[in-house]
Amino acid sequence: MTPAELANRYLQLRQRTDMHLRGACRDVSVPLPADFGDELAFYRLVNWAYVVLTEAGKLPIAFLISLPPLSTNSKLRTEVGSMRTFVAHNLDVMSPSDYKTRSFAHQWFRTACGVGTPMAASDFAKCCDYLATRLDRVLKGAIEACDSLDDPDEGPSLVTDLRNRIELQWDAHRFDPIVAEAAEAIGNPGLDLLAIRRRHLESWRKTLANADEGQRETALRLKIEATLIAEFADTLPSPVSEISARLAIAGPPVIVAALILLRDVRRFAPFTVPEILAEVSKEVRSD
């Protein structure tokens, strides 16, 4: 297996998926090495594999390899993610997660080239061959599974399923306008919205995927608002007893306290932030 052959295999997959969903597998700008002969080549291969499996072709590949002939949930993407962390980050052996990553990497190396810490160029060449061969098998299986998409009976429903998965896998930046609107609605007290988005991105994506088609935007807004309210509560230094006492005070403190106390109510009814604020305003005026 050579770099050119591996790159061509991914190109073949892009061409097959384009027949049904144009752009389903995206271009990869990260270069492969000229050959698979040394340590640098291994690092480049790991980076390229990571982009293919977790970014450019993530959803189509995962979907297609679940179909015949592979009919599997490959662990290769997880392995490549761990190896990329190992080769690209400064890992602290005192950190439990970093220790786990390092332990996995050394075991992976032993399987790939026979030693836990490869040093010679020949060791890394074996690692390249091991990874490239397994990646080629996944890509080839995905290409062959595209025959199922061509089937006149089952093909249309499979294509629709794949399209829905891709459309619901929003890029991170697509959430930003909704996050900003929700933060403004609750009177953002200086929350780091980008950090919040990073922490909750996958749960927001799951909300989109699980919601009924006509209710996806509403469900997502409610989820994001609930997330920000929870984050909002975490920024306040007062205990619940003090916050409850603040409900007698008009103005922003009332809203802050009421949002926190009403947070759990939204688990039982689909209140939006504007509706909550309206109720708070009504209660304040009645007092």
Domain ranges of the chain: 3-168, 172-286
Residue 151: strand, helix, or coil: coil
Residue 231, CA distances (Å) to 100, 152, 179, 183 in order: 29, 50, 12, 10
Can you give the pLDDT of all 287 residues of the chain as single tens digits?
999 999 999 999 999 999 999 999 999 999 999 999 999 999 999 999 999 999 999 999 999 999 999 998 889 999 999 999 999 999 998 999 999 999 999 999 999 999 999 999 999 999 999 999 999 999 999 999 999 999 999 999 999 999 988 888 888 898 999 999 888 877 776 788 999 999 999 999 899 888 887 888 899 999 998 898 788 766 554 444 554 555 555 455 555 555 555 555 555 555 555 565 566 556 555 55
Output the pLDDT for position 230.
80
Judged on CB neighbours under 10 Å (0-12, 13-18, 19+), 16 is: buried
Which among 21, 6, 23 has a CA at the least distance from the CA of 146? Answer: 21
Q: Give the tokens for residue 72.
A: 């599997």
Helices and strands in the chain: count of H runs, count of E runs? 13, 0
Output the pLDDT for position 214.
83
Output the pLDDT for position 237.
47
First to last CA, the chain: 76
Q: For residue 103, what are the contacts with CB-CB under 8 A and spacing of at least 6?
A: none
Output the pLDDT for position 258.
59
